[in-house]
Each structure stands twice: as structure tokens, then as C-alpha cells.
């Protein structure tokens, strides 16, 4: 028995010794494909068409915008609509157009290349029946319920999240070098209330005909783990529901596998994604893209921390944030607060007179270091 164990041990050591790191060579040749993606709303909602280029695997950026292109949407009835480049690679469409018409998208790049879409037939997306959330042991699940019909069977969902972000320590005071003392902050100088915004990173697809009466019941849109900062106070999510044609589903399914299974040898190659965009001058010119049109249905919901209590949000990066035990007195304001790295928090009173302030680090009390102080236009307070 001891001899057998010894042999097994030697074999295991040998196998371990034979393991060598696999470092595949990445081709140095840069392959740049045009990437086109967008869903154009036909009822005037702001829609974005993104034009970009594929980037090498070792690139430091994930988005290489295709700038200064001319993008035109043409209807078979003779109307033309120019999309405006709002920022590099982002072309905006905001028009109310007839859903019964058929359209073509034409793209003229700055280098002279031309691309066009297959005919685009708008789809009337059914409304969202319900949008809500439910808490469980894992956290909070956000969901929608909808119902498909004979013209709209396949659905694509996207979402945009916004939430209030607060610093660990709040202060209503600021050192003003012009007057050489500490004063109350104005509303414009407030650093205790900020907002964060993020767009959905996932591709959410479902086919309504898989369900009885084509009712998609409580389709999961996103899940928020317990203690996540998004519900540290108040959270909002705008859910967009888009019906897509059956021939578009294959593109989104392959793209979903590529984005979720990166690194797998079984993942479809980008060159196999295809789409409904092609080159005018060279049919073999590679392009990845899918453009759809239709009515976008939207629903916004809010979640307050009190709705999901106990939430127990705590960011460990601020565990060492404290308010000083020793105050900074008046004569030391300039030398202490002048750099901006330390902020006054709680006043020290001598009778009715403020003679100093207890302080904290700026990183612990200034939410603008991590989020935007600008309140979103759509935001509704409780």
C-alpha cells in the first residue's frame, strides 16, 4: 500500500511539473471593422445610433468612435431624415415618423466608404403591463411583465440606472479664502448630495410565444445584491422595451454569447455576427451591425432604501473615515483648510461664538469626487 501511495505521489508531482503557462500570441495586425448599433424610435423619443470600430484585444479602450459620418434615414415614400452627431460616434434621431412606411439607413463615412441597411419595417411594441421589484435573500430583483402579439413576438430590453450617492461624512461648511474664515455652503456648493448614472451592460432577450397567451410574466431586468450602493438612499431605473423582428434575434443572440462568454473557444467569432448593414461599394467589406426601428415602450420605477430595509450598505473604502477629536482653531484655518484636502465639519462653540471646527478628509465628505452633483431632469423626490 505504501508503495502504491509513493507511486501516486510521484506521478502527481510529475504532472504538476509538466504544467506550463499558455500565453497565446495575439496577431499584431490591426483589424478594424465598422460597428453599427441602434434602435430608432418612431414616436419622437431620443434614439442613439452608435458608430465605432473594433479595437485590438490588448487595447486600453473599448470604444473607438467613428466620427464625422453622415447618417441619413430615408423612407420609401420619399422623406429623408439626417441624424446629428451629438458626441463622437453617437448620432441622434428624434423624429415622429409613420410606422406603416419602410425605411433604409445610409451611412457615409469621412473616408468615403458607404454603407446601407436592409429595408427597415417599424414594429409596434406592446406596452409594458407592469414594472416592479421584489426583495429576497439575495437582494432586489427588478422585473417587467408584458404581452406579445402576432406582430411583436421577440423582445429586447435595455435600462438606465440612476441613484443618489452620499459621502460617508456630510458637512454644510466651507473655508472661504476670500474672507479668511469658514462659512455655510450655498446650494451650488453642496457636496453632500450627488447622483450616479449607468446604462445596462447586458443584452436581455425573450420570445413571448414560449409562454401561455404570449404573456411574459415578471421578466428579470436586473438584480441588485443586498448592500449594494445603488440603494443607499433612492434608486431609479428606466426600462426600455423594444420589439424586434425574428431575423434580428439571431444577431442579438450571437452578440450576447460573445459578450457573456468571452474567452471560450466555443464562442462565435465576431466575423460571424453579421447583421443587416452592408458595404455599398464592396459587399465583402466586413461590418458588424444591427439597426431596428419601432415604438419604444418605457417605464420608470423608484426604489427607496426604506422599501427594502434592512439594506446594510457600507463601503469599506471609507472605513477609516472619521471626524477629528481635536478641533482646528480660527488662527489655523488658512494653513489647515487652504489646501482643500481637509474640510470643516462640526463647529466648536464657546458660548454663542464659533471658535473652531472639527475636521475630516475631503475624500470622506465630498461626493463630487465620485459622482455628479447635477440632479437629473427626470428625477422625482419622494
User: What's the confidence (pLDDT) of residue 99?
Assistant: 96
Contact 277, 289 (CB under 8 A): yes
126 vs 46: CA distance, rounded Å: 19
Task: Write out the H or E segment, with its range, that includes residue 339.
Answer: none
Domain 30-122: assigned CATH number? 2.60.40.10
User: What's the confidence (pLDDT) of residue 252?
Assistant: 86
- CA atoms within a 13 Å half-sphere pointing along the CA-CB vector of 27: 5
Give the three cell numbers for residue 161.
440606472
DSSP state of 129: E
User: What's the confidence (pLDDT) of residue 22?
Assistant: 47
Task: Give Cα separations from 164 to 143, 192, 235, 309, 363 (angstroms).
Answer: 21, 10, 7, 16, 17
User: What's the confidence (pLDDT) of residue 28?
Assistant: 47
Domain ranges of the chain: 30-122
107 vs 279: CA distance, rounded Å: 9
Nearest in space to 149 (alpha carbons), one of 217, 215, 245: 215
Task: Write out the H or E segment, with its range, that includes residue 62.
Answer: none
User: What's the confidence (pLDDT) of residue 21?
Assistant: 54
User: What's the confidence (pLDDT) of residue 260?
Assistant: 65
User: What's the confidence (pLDDT) of residue 11?
Assistant: 40
- 10-residue mean pLDDT series, the chain (382 residues): 42 48 51 88 96 73 86 96 96 97 97 95 97 96 97 96 98 97 97 96 92 97 97 98 92 77 48 80 86 97 97 94 97 96 97 97 98 97 88
Residue 94 φ/ψ region, left for φ over 0, alpha for ψ in the -120 to 50 degree band, beta for the rest: beta
CB within 8 Å of 304: residues ≥ 6 apart: 231, 233, 234, 235, 382
225 vs 223: CA distance, rounded Å: 6
Query: Which stretches within 19-164 are classed as H helix?
Result: none
Amino acid at each position: 500500500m505504501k508503495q502504491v501511495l509513493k507511486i501516486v505521489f510521484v506521478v502527481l508531482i510529475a504532472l504538476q511539473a509538466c504544467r506550463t503557462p499558455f500565453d497565446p500570441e495575439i496577431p499584431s495586425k490591426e483589424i478594424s471593422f465598422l460597428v453599427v448599433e441602434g434602435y430608432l424610435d418612431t414616436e419622437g423619443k431620443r434614439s442613439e445610433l452608435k458608430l465605432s470600430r473594433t479595437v485590438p484585444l490588448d487595447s486600453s479602450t473599448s470604444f473607438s468612435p467613428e466620427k464625422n459620418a453622415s447618417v441619413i434615414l430615408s423612407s420609401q415614400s420619399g422623406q429623408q431624415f439626417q441624424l446629428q452627431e451629438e458626441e463622437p460616434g453617437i448620432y441622434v434621431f428624434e423624429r415622429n415618423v409613420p410606422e406603416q412606411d419602410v425605411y433604409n439607413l445610409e451611412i457615409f463615412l469621412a473616408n468615403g466608404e458607404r454603407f446601407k441597411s436592409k429595408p427597415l419595417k417599424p414594429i409596434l411594441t406592446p406596452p409594458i403591463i407592469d414594472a416592479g421589484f421584489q426583495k429576497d435573500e439575495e437582494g432586489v430583483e427588478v422585473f417587467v411583465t408584458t404581452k406579445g402579439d402576432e406582430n411583436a413576438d421577440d423582445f429586447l430590453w435595455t435600462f438606465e440606472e440612476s441613484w443618489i450617492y452620499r459621502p460617508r461624512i456630510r458637512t454644510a461648511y466651507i473655508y472661504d479664502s476670500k474672507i479668511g474664515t469658514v462659512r455655510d455652503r450655498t446650494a451650488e456648493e453642496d457636496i453632500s448630495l450627488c447622483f450616479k448614472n449607468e446604462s445596462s451592460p447586458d443584452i436581455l432577450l425573450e420570445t413571448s410565444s414560449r409562454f401561455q397567451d404570449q404573456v411574459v410574466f415578471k421578466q428579470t431586468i436586473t438584480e441588485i445584491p443586498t448592500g449594494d450602493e445603488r440603494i443607499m438612499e433612492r434608486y431609479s431605473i428606466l426600462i426600455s422595451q423594444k420589439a424586434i423582428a425574428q431575423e434580428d434575434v439571431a444577431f442579438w443572440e450571437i452578440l450576447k454569447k460573445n459578450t457573456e462568454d468571452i474567452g471560450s473557444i466555443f464562442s462565435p467569432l465576431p466575423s460571424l455576427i453579421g447583421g443587416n448593414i452592408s458595404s455599398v461599394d464592396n459587399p465583402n467589406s466586413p461590418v458588424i451591425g444591427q439597426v431596428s426601428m419601432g415604438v419604444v415602450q418605457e417605464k420608470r420605477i423608484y426604489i427607496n432604501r426604506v422599501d427594502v430595509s434592512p439594506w446594510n450598505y457600507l463601503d469599506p473604502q471609507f472605513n477609516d473615515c472619521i471626524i477629528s477629536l481635536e478641533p482646528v482653531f480660527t488662527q489655523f484655518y488658512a494653513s489647515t483648510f487652504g489646501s482643500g484636502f481637509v474640510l470643516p465639519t462640526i463647529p466648536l462653540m464657546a458660548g454663542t461664538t464659533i471658535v473652531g471646527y472639527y475636521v475630516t478628509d475631503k475624500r470622506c465628505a465630498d461626493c463630487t469626487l465620485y459622482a455628479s452633483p447635477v440632479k437629473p431632469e427626470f428625477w422625482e423626490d419622494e
